[in-house]
Chain A
Amino acid sequence: MQRAINDFTIRVATVNGSGSQSSNLVLTNAIFSLGIPVAPKNVFPSNIEGLPTWFDVRVTARGYQCRTREIDLLVGLNAATWRTDVASVKPGGAIVHEASYPIAGDTLRDDVVYYAVPFNELAKANFDGTLRKYLLNMVYVGVLAELLGIDEATIEAAIGKQFKSKPKAVATNMDAARVGFAYAREHLTKNDPYALERMSGRTEGRLFMDGNRAAALGCVMGGCTVAAWYPITPSSSLCENFIALTEKYRVNKATGEKNVAIVQAEDELAAIGMVLGAGWAGARAMTSTSGPGLSLMAEWAGYGYYAEIPAVIFDVQRAGPSTGLPTRTMQADVSFAYHLSHGDTKHIVLLPATVNDAYEMAMDAFDLADRFQTPVFVLSDLDLGMNSWITEPFAYPERPFDRGKVLDAADLAKAESWGRYRDVDHDGIPYRTLPGTDHPNAGYFTRGTGHDEQARYSELPDVWQRGLDRLTRKHDTARAAVPKPIVEDDGQPAAILAYGTTHHAVVEARDILRADGIAVDYLRLRALPFAPEVAAFIARHERVYVVEQNRDAQLYTLLRAELPNHLVSRIRSIRHYNGVPIDAHAIIDPLLAAEREPAVVAE
C-alpha cells in the first residue's frame, strides 16, 4: 500500500447543533500544530439543529487552500446521510463510522476500509446526559488521532486552545478524546494509507484566520467609527468581530467611553442610511451584509453615488438568487454590486481573495471611499468570510488615513469661493465640507435630485449631463487608484483571469496543468473598475479563460462590455455555481476541453 502522508482529505459528516464544530476545529488545529498545512471547509445547513452538516479538512503538504473533490477519509456520524456519505469516499479510502450503521447494499463497498466504532455506546457508558451528544464528537477526534498518528499531547494542546477560558471543559473534552484513543488502540487495526508526519517550513509563524474577522480587523485599523448592520448569514460575524474588537481596543478603561458607535439596525435600508449619514458628517462608516441585504441597499447606494458620500459596504456573498442557499458560497453579486441602484451608476468594488486581502482591502476601502467620496463595496464570499485560512500575521498599517478632499474653516477662509461639485483638479473628484465646520460658506445642500456645481437644484439638460460626465471622470480616475491586479505572465498563449476565492483553485489548477506540460499565465483581478493592466494582459494573450463562481459569467460580461472590440473574442468563460467552493478540476476540465477544441467553448 502506497502511504499517503500529509496529503489527503477528511470529511466529517454530522448533524448540526451537536457541537461537532468544536471537535472539527480541535482536529484542524492539532494537524496544523504538527506543521502541516490544512484547509478546512465547513459545508453547513441554514438551520440551528438537526440537519446534515459536513466539515472537510484538507491536509495538504503543498499548502493548497481550495476545496478538493476527493474524500479520502470519512467520519460517518449522521445516519440520515450515511448512504451518500459512503458513496463520496474515493476508492482506496477509509471510513470511520458509528458501529450501528448498516453496511449492506449501497453502503457495502469492497474498495474502502471500514472502522466501526460504537460511538453511541461509548458515549452512554462514559458521559452524563446533557453533554453526551457533544462529547461523542470528541471521541471521533481521539479515534482519528490514533489512526493518523497524532499523539495525546498534541490533541490536549488543541483542546486547550479551543476551550481556553474554561478549564473544566478542557478536562471533560480531553477525557472524551481519550475514550476514542483507547478504543482505537484496543479494537481497530490500521489498514489504510493515511498518515500524518510532523513537518516544517509551512506553518511556522502563521495562524488561522477567517475572512470576516480579518475584515473586522481592517475596519478597526482603517479607522471605522460608525457601523450599522442587520444580521444576515454569512456576514454577521464580520460585525460581531468588529464589536468584540472595539470592546477590547476602543473603550477608555477609566471612563468606559467608547471611540465607536455600532447600531444593529432595523433592516438593511436603515443600516446603509446610517452609514451614509455618518459618512456625510465625516465619520468612517461601514455596514456588512449579503445578497438579500444588498438588494435592499440599492436605493441608498445610488444616492451615495450621486450625492457623493463615502461609505463602505461589505457583501459577504452567498448563493442567490432570492434567499437562495444562505450557507453556501457564490460570486454572484459582482455585476449587481458594480451597478447597484437605478439609473446610471457604477461603483468601486474590491475583490478580496485571501484573508490578508480582506484585512488590507477593508483599510483600502475606507481610504478609497473618502478619497473618491463614494460608496465602496468589498465583495467577500462565504468561503472567505466563514472558513479559516492559514495566513502570515497582518502588517501593521504605516500610512495615515487618507481623508480625501475636505475643506475646513481655515481652507474656506482662504478660498474666494468653492462649489461642492466643482471639478477643480480635473480628476472628477470635488471638494466637500463637513457639517459642523464653523464658517459661513461651509454649508451646502446635499441631495439626490439633480444639482449643479454649487449643489443647487437644477433640471437644466447640460448641467445634468455635465454632472454625469464628471462622475464618469471620477470613476476613470479610480482605475489607477484601486488595488492593482496581480499578474503572472510568462508569455504563454493561454491565460486565466480570476478574482476572489476562485484564486485558490486557480493556484492548484495551474500546478496540475504545469505538471502535465501545460503552462497558463494568470491575472488575479482585485478591483473594479478595471485597471488598464487588464486589457493590456488580455492583449498579450491569445486565449484568456475568465473563471468565476456564478452562472451568468458576470465578470466576463462586464469585461466584454468594456474591452476594445478586437480583444473581446479572446476571452472565454468558465463557471462554477453549485454553492460549494470551486475546486481545481472545475477549472482544469473545461480549460483542457477548450484548449483541445477551442470551438466548443461556451460563449
Chain B
Amino acid sequence: MTVNIIGLARDVYKGLPTTLCAGCGHNSITNHLIKALYEYGVEPHRLAKMSGIGCSSKTPAYFVDQAHGFNGVHGRMPSAATGAKLANRDLVVLGISGDGDTASIGLGQFAHLVRRNLDCTYIVENNGVYGLTKGQFSATADIGSTLKNGTVNEYAMIDVCGLAIELGATFVARSFSGDGKQLVPLIQAAIAHGGTAILDIISPCVTFNDHVGSTKSYAYVKDHEMVANMPDFIRPKEEITVDYEPGTTQTIELEGGAHVLLRKIDATYDATDRIGALQAIHAARGKGEFLTGLLFVDATVPDLCEKERMTATPLKDLGEAELRIGREDWAKLFA
C-alpha cells in the first residue's frame, strides 16, 4: 500500500461523498486539497477544518474525515478559527469560505483575521454568486457580469487578493479550481506559511454562473487566466534543485525551513513586492484577466500567537497550578 511520509494511506484524507452539484469547481478544490494534505503529510488529528455558511462551507465534510470540523455561522469563520488556534496552537487550522461568506457578510472578520496574521490557511472558493440561495450576485462579481436571467451587475467588485495585500496580508495567492498543478503546491506552501495564507480560488458554479456573460464561468476563466508564476513546494531539508535559467525563479523560505520555489511565467514579477503585486492585480483586472500564482508573500512577520507571546504549551492543556494565582500572592492581594 502506498503511504505518505507519516505512513498514512491517501484514503485517510478522504471525506464523505460530496453533496454539491456535479461539475462544481468546489469538488475539484476538494480533490486538490486531499492530494495536497496527503502529500504534505498533515496529521489528521491536528487538522481543524473551519468554515462558515454556503456551498463552499459544506466542503470540509468532504475531506479528511478523521479531523475535527467546525461548520460555524455565516461570515464568522475567522473568529472561530482564531479562538481554536489560541486554545491550541498545535492545530493546523484550515478555513474554507466562499465569496459571499468572505466578501459580503464576513468582510469585517476577514479583514481583521488578515490584520492579526493568525497562522492559518484561508481558502476562498470564489464563484461570484450565491449558490445555496439560488443564484444572486455576490460582492466578488465583476461589473458588467450577468446573472442567468440577464441581470447585469452594476456594482464594484471586491478583489479578495488586492484587499488582503492592502490589509497587510503575509501570503496571498490566486488560482483556478481546475489547475491542480498550480493549486496543490500553493495549498502546501500556505500550510507551511507561519501566518494567514489567503488562497482566492476561482471556482465556477456550474448551476448558476457558468453561462455566457458571466466572468466566473469555466470558459471565461480559461480564456482570461494570466499566470504570474507556478510554485513548487519544497519541504524542510529537501534539496532545492534549480534547473531553470537564472532569473526565471524566485525561492522564498517559509516557516520551519520549508521553501516555495516560484517559476516565473511573467519574468518581471516579484512576489515579495507588495506594491508591485497590487499594481499587477489592478493591471490584470483592467484587462478583464485573472492574475494567478503566489502573488505576494512576506514570511518574516510574526503570527498572532507569537505577537501575543503565548506559551508554547497549548492553552487548553494548562491546569490549576499554571493558571491560578498562588496562595501567597492571593493573600497579598487582599492585604
B75 vs chain A, min Cβ distance (A): 8
* Contact between B83 and A281, CB atoms less than 8 A apart: yes
CA distance A353 to B183 in the complex (A): 57
Whether A303 touches B309, Cβ cut-off 8 Å, given contacts A225-B318, A274-B80, A440-B66, is no
What 7 A-B pairs are tightest by C-beta distance, nearest first?
Answer: A277-B83, A273-B79, A283-B87, A282-B316, A393-B334, A277-B80, A278-B83
A184 vs chain B, min Cβ distance (A): 34
Known: A221-B325, A226-B315, A277-B86. 11 other contacts (CB 8 A): A225-B316, A228-B82, A270-B112, A273-B72, A274-B83, A280-B84, A283-B87, A433-B68, A436-B46, A436-B316, A443-B69
Residues of A within 8 A of B318 (CB): 223, 225, 259
CA distance A266 to B45 in the complex (A): 30
* Contact between B310 and A448, CB atoms less than 8 A apart: no
CA distance A282 to B83 in the complex (A): 10
A365 vs chain B, min Cβ distance (A): 15
Cβ of A394 under 8 Å from chain B? yes
Residues of B within 8 A of A262 (CB): 308
The count of A-to-B residue pairs whose CB atoms sit within 8 angstroms is: 212
Select which of A259, A265, A400 is within 8 A of B311 by beta carbon: A259
0/1 string, A206-239, CB within 8 A of B gives 1: 0100000000010011011110100000000000
Select which of B61, B112, B314, B327 is within 8 A of A396 by beta carbon: B327
* Contact between A442 and B70, CB atoms less than 8 A apart: no
A72 vs chain B, min Cβ distance (A): 32
A175 vs chain B, min Cβ distance (A): 29
Residues of B within 8 A of A445 (CB): 60-61, 68-69, 71
* Contact between B334 and A401, CB atoms less than 8 A apart: no
* Contact between A226 and B108, CB atoms less than 8 A apart: no
Residues of A within 8 A of B313 (CB): 259
* Contact between A258 and B311, CB atoms less than 8 A apart: yes
Residues of B within 8 A of A435 (CB): 45-46, 48, 67-68, 84, 88, 91
Cβ of B273 under 8 Å from chain A? no
Most buried by B among A277, A396, A400: A277
**Quick one: which of A240-296 are within 8 Å of B by CB?**
245, 249-250, 252, 256-263, 265-267, 269-283, 285
* Contact between B46 and A443, CB atoms less than 8 A apart: no
Cβ of A465 under 8 Å from chain B? no
Cβ of A437 under 8 Å from chain B? yes
Residues of B within 8 A of A272 (CB): 79
Residues of A within 8 A of B86 (CB): 226, 261, 263, 274, 277-278, 283
A578 vs chain B, min Cβ distance (A): 35
A285 vs chain B, min Cβ distance (A): 6
**Quick one: which of A353-389 are within 8 Å of B by CB?**
none
Residues of B within 8 A of A303 (CB): 72-73
A residues apposed to B, CB below 8 Å: 207, 217, 220-221, 223-226, 228, 245, 249-250, 252, 256-263, 265-267, 269-283, 285, 299-300, 303, 393-394, 396-397, 400-401, 433-449, 457
* Contact between B69 and A277, CB atoms less than 8 A apart: no
A520 vs chain B, min Cβ distance (A): 35
B residues apposed to A, CB below 8 Å: 43-46, 48, 50, 60-61, 65-73, 76, 78-88, 90-91, 108-109, 111-112, 116, 304-305, 308-320, 322-325, 327, 329-330, 333-334
Most buried by A among B80, B309, B312: B80
Residues of B within 8 A of A220 (CB): 323-325
Select which of A221, A257, A282 is within 8 A of B309 by beta carbon: A257
* 19 A-B interface contacts by CB (under 8 A): A250-B323, A258-B308, A260-B315, A265-B79, A269-B79, A271-B79, A274-B82, A277-B70, A281-B84, A283-B316, A300-B76, A396-B327, A401-B319, A435-B45, A435-B46, A435-B91, A437-B45, A438-B43, A449-B71
A251 vs chain B, min Cβ distance (A): 8
Residues of A within 8 A of B322 (CB): 259
Residues of B within 8 A of A278 (CB): 83-84, 86-87, 315
* Contact between A249 and B329, CB atoms less than 8 A apart: yes
